[in-house]
Homo-oligomer: A and B are copies of this chain.
Amino acid sequence: MIIAIDVMGGDNAPDSVLKGVGKALNETKSKLLLVGNEEIIKKDISKYCNKLDRIDIRHTSETIDNDDKPVQAVRRKKDSSMVVALEMLRKKEVSAVISAGNTGALLTGSLLKVGRIKGIDRPALAPIYPTKRGFSLLIDAGANVDCKPRNLLEFAIMGSIYLENVLNVNKPKVGIVNIGTEEGKGNKLVSEAYEILKESNLNFVGNIEARDIPSGIVDVIVCDGFVGNVILKLTEGVAMGISTMLKEQLVKNFVRKIAALTLKNGLKDFKSKLDYTEYGGAPLLGVKGAVIKAHGSSDAKAIKNAIKYGEVFARNNVIESIEKEIVRIGADSIE
């Protein structure tokens, strides 16, 4: 199996990406195809990697930046590391693509180059959401800001299959984010989606309130991409806010300062629980290939984990399972 890595994408590229590749060689079995500027890669790769026999380079001359407009970038920068990697995925020359680059461009590029699974109207981004119990999958986290009820069913199906096939969750519990738990609650979108999910053969447990998300009340958190994006970013903001306030409190006087030092390890354990880099990125579900969007500010560990999960994603028939399920429920004929 060959995994293509967009070496030029991400805030800390290409350094963190190459470091991550070095780490990933120890925890994966695939060949890693480094897509990017050959000169830069060759200069640094031996610093970080000791298993050069499992590495190949595909030179590209362009880079998509964070402020590039997605559609334009994908259309014009044909020799960019991201577009070339996606083209190779389309031709099945590689089995997965990992990129920490421009999210919009990766979504657009995946749709235009790799294409949707038949019957999937809206591919979605599905990051891991760390919870008290472990983790949930949040789908959609921002790929689709205006959704139809049917899209939420797609999200629920794809999320369930990914959790089962990649993260070994048995019969994932699915819930729709709503303003109350009773049937009939919420806006038009979610109340109609409830009716559809109720009839599905997913492990649908009904509506969940945002208050219960951090406790891990369900495995698949289903929502439209606008709400999902708010959930993801607000969680980050609240956690950061609390952490800052705690720090301020802790340095308020000397005794507390001592206490704070003592607590350092405790806080470290706690932080690692909330650490997104553990799961290394979000799969883009619904396109005909394994695409993993690593966080823009990914460090080496995040890249390493993204590659690791990308390998499992490609190996464990996620896409085939989604295709089969879509055919089974007869949604492959919907245009």
Contacts and interface: CB of A to CB of B under 8 A. Distances in A.
Interface of A: 131-132, 142, 145-146, 177, 179, 186-188, 190, 209-215, 224-227, 229-242, 244-246, 249-250, 252, 255-256, 258-260, 262-263, 266-267, 269-270, 273
B215 A179 contact: no
Nearest to A255: B262
Which of A186, A188, A236, A263 has its CB near the most chain B CB atoms (within 10 A)? A263
A40 B252 CA distance: 47
Given A211-B237, A259-B259, 16 more contacts: A132-B245, A146-B187, A186-B226, A210-B229, A210-B234, A211-B233, A214-B240, A215-B241, A227-B227, A230-B230, A234-B235, A235-B238, A238-B239, A242-B242, A249-B266, A249-B269
B177 A230 contact: yes
B238 A214 contact: yes
Contacts of A267: 246, 249
A215 B242 CA distance: 10
A145 B177 CA distance: 13
Give how many copies assemble into the complex. Answer: 2
Given A252-B266, A255-B262, A266-B250, A179 B229 contact: yes
Contact of A210 (B179, B214, B230, B258): B230
Which of A215, A235, A242 has its CB near the most chain B CB atoms (within 10 A)? A242
Contacts of A252: 266, 269
Given A211-B236, A231-B230, A237-B210, A263 B269 contact: no
Contacts of A242: 238-239, 242, 270
B233 A209 contact: yes
A270 B246 contact: yes
Contacts of A146: 187-188
Contact of A270 (B209, B225, B249, B260): B249
Nearest to A267: B249
A-B residue pairs, 7 tightest by C-beta: A214-B241, A210-B234, A249-B266, A211-B233, A145-B187, A210-B233, A259-B262
A290 B207 CA distance: 33
Contacts of A245: 132, 270, 273
A187 B226 contact: yes
Given A214-B241, A234-B211, A241-B214, A259 B249 contact: no
Contacts of A179: 142, 145, 225-226, 229-230, 233
Nearest to A215: B241
A6 to B, nearest CB: 21
26 contacts: A145-B187, A179-B229, A179-B230, A186-B226, A187-B224, A187-B226, A210-B229, A210-B233, A211-B234, A211-B236, A211-B240, A212-B237, A214-B238, A214-B240, A215-B237, A226-B227, A234-B234, A234-B235, A234-B238, A235-B238, A242-B270, A245-B270, A246-B270, A249-B263, A249-B267, A259-B260
